[in-house]
Amino acid sequence: MTDAEWARVLPLLPVPGWMRGRGGQPEAYCHRAILDAIRYLVDNGIKWRAMPADFPPWDRVYAFFRRWRDHALVKECHDRLRARIRERLGRDAEPSAGVIDSQSVKADAVVGSESRGFDGGKLINGRKRHVVVDTLGLLLGVMVTAADVGDRTAACQCGCWTRETNRARARAVTRSGAARQVSMRGSSSSKGSTARSVAAWARSLVAMSASGLVRGRTTA
């Protein structure tokens, strides 16, 4: 991690109790070294126990990661970085529209029937992972459902759990070009001219995606 990157991340991290006069022993490892270890793990796809000796012990790295994750610090860091990129490109910090795509994968025999389904289009019995990005291709959310859940249904569910970070209303566009208005409160409407304009916008996105002009599509 460069000094410039560390300067952006440092304000997001909690201040240890001993530095705030609350007692306790100083932490044995620097937060910067912990973040470097987490980034190395994600970048190389290794197991926690395979952490190189150059980094702090794997169990301490995992303990910090779990603590930050449970306190939503990982998500907060990601959302702020996304907002900075959008503002740098002349966009609003929070997107008003998202593009959703999904991929069905086969589930093992031990996966229970309550969490799996049959994707008739792909002829796959298993689960489906949905990825929602903005029109710049920046990640908004990831969701795993049974394979029989379509993108439209998943978009409504995503609209419920992203209302804390996005605007009151957002448009979710499926990969097929169909569009519907999704309320972040859980309701939806796609009537009249609004539906027609959103559908036209969706078709233009699909066309640009096919020509490589838009990075918003993803195959999860």
Per residue in 175-213, pLDDT (tens digit) is 555 444 444 334 444 444 545 554 555 555 555 544 444
d(CA 180, CA 33): 45
- What's the pLDDT score for residue 78? 85
- What's the pLDDT score for residue 171? 58
d(CA 79, CA 94): 9
**What average pLDDT is seen over the chain?**
75
- What's the pLDDT score for residue 107? 87
Banded model confidence at residue 50, pLDDT cuts 50, 70, 90: very high
- Residues contacting residue 182 through CB under 8 Å, at least 6 positions apart: 155, 156, 158, 159, 169, 170, 171, 172, 188
- What's the pLDDT score for residue 184? 39
Of 118-127, 139-148, 160-169, the least confident: 160-169
Residue corresponding to tokens 């980094």 = 55
Residue 54 has pLDDT above 50, yes or no: yes
- What's the pLDDT score for residue 173? 62
For range 71-76, the mean pLDDT? 83
Identity at 186, one-letter amino acid code: G
d(CA 65, CA 202): 38
For range 113-117, the mean pLDDT? 85
For range 128-146, the mean pLDDT? 89
Q: If DSSP codes are grouped into helix, strand and coil, which group holds residue 147?
A: coil
